[in-house]
Homo-oligomer: A and B are copies of this chain.
């Protein structure tokens, strides 16, 4: 077992699911890069007892570094610094120089937004954020909250606790400074590099992958292999020491022999990147025509910086009228075969290419539910078409799950259909 960190995410809004945590995953990836494994992530609400209990558990679990995120704001439900001080056996004291720096930041912020504020409430919030555990190293605020590295009680061999703010931009902006502190450097001194390799598969049952991995147990026994099914894609991820590089190559070759083209990305490149590279390679532009996904395919193509090089634009044709008006789909065709059909998917793709003067187009038309399904065309039926002017590929799928799941899976289907067309 190498060097390990553990994370406590605080905030009732995360615990109760109103907000998705984006810090735990980011920290896991950053730690992995520098050779630190993450053992557990605990999410607690804004209750001091739960936070203290989680901290004590992770300290006892043998983590070399415990990291907290959130609970450093100016409101009274933000109490991480005080609880960490308690657990580490330290009193709280006002850092007056820090208080002055926070006050200056708040003043600039309020001025930039043109907000009217009450000076007394600003002062109270600033004072709270400048209260720090005795002996802690302060990390300069990126927003208004300082980070902290709080050492264990004097003479204890327990790990330090790194206290980071909850807003992802603030946490990320403070990360390098945190790693550079004496306390964190010492805590992570024993780390060794851990490499992660990803392979991606499409259109393969998980049980077949499981059987294949069992057959290659002489390889997988040396690696930590996890598999994950997400929006129809299977991901195989290995984590291992650098000296296991050959074993990974052997596993990759074995899976390629077993699955061929279904292992569409033996090096882990995402389908988004493959589609983008192939469009750039052809110097081609792309347009979308979407019904049930209503913009999600276009938005996904635009996720990548630099996508303006190939994304011409998109048409969200939610109504039949829009399909006719914007894409030129003949109304009598829709009357005859229905909006969710191979014919309409093909007409939508052709219309998008023509209307946007794009080289390539992809179309999606389906029944996302919960209503609108019939026995012949149930909820989850989706037709897709990709068209580059020389060739068209069509696909019909019946997707399980609710409205959100059907739409998300449809986006993945559209990306893979483009990959196949452009391949």
Contacts and interface: CB of A to CB of B under 8 A. Distances in A.
A328 interface: no
Interface string A37-57: 011111111100010011001
A41 B15 contact: yes
A120 B212 CA distance: 11
Contact of A210 (B16, B53, B74, B311): B74
Contacts of A306: 371
A13 interface: yes
How big is chain A's contact interface, by range? 35 or more
Nearest to A39: B50
Contacts of A94: none
A68 interface: no
A121 B214 contact: yes
Contact of A57 (B57, B168, B205, B212): B57
Interface in A352-402: 355-357, 369-371, 400-402
Contacts of A228: 11-13, 18-19
B38 A15 contact: yes
Interface in A182-219: 196, 205-214
A82 to B, nearest CB: 16
Interface stretch (A83-91, A147-155, A313-321): A313-321
Contact of A41 (B42, B118, B122, B205): B42
A333 interface: no
A12 B167 CA distance: 24
11 contacts: A13-B226, A16-B38, A24-B43, A39-B50, A74-B210, A296-B296, A298-B316, A302-B316, A302-B407, A314-B314, A326-B355
Interface of A: 11-13, 15-20, 24-26, 28-29, 32, 38-46, 50, 53-54, 57, 61, 73-77, 106, 109-110, 113, 115, 117-118, 120-122, 124-125, 167-169, 196, 205-214, 220, 224-230, 235, 237, 239, 288, 290, 292-299, 301-303, 305-308, 311-319, 321-322, 325-326, 355-357, 369-371, 400-405, 407
Given A16-B32, A168-B405, A313-B326, 18 more contacts: A12-B237, A18-B25, A53-B57, A53-B61, A74-B206, A75-B227, A115-B208, A122-B207, A288-B316, A295-B296, A302-B318, A305-B370, A307-B318, A312-B319, A313-B316, A313-B318, A313-B322, A315-B316
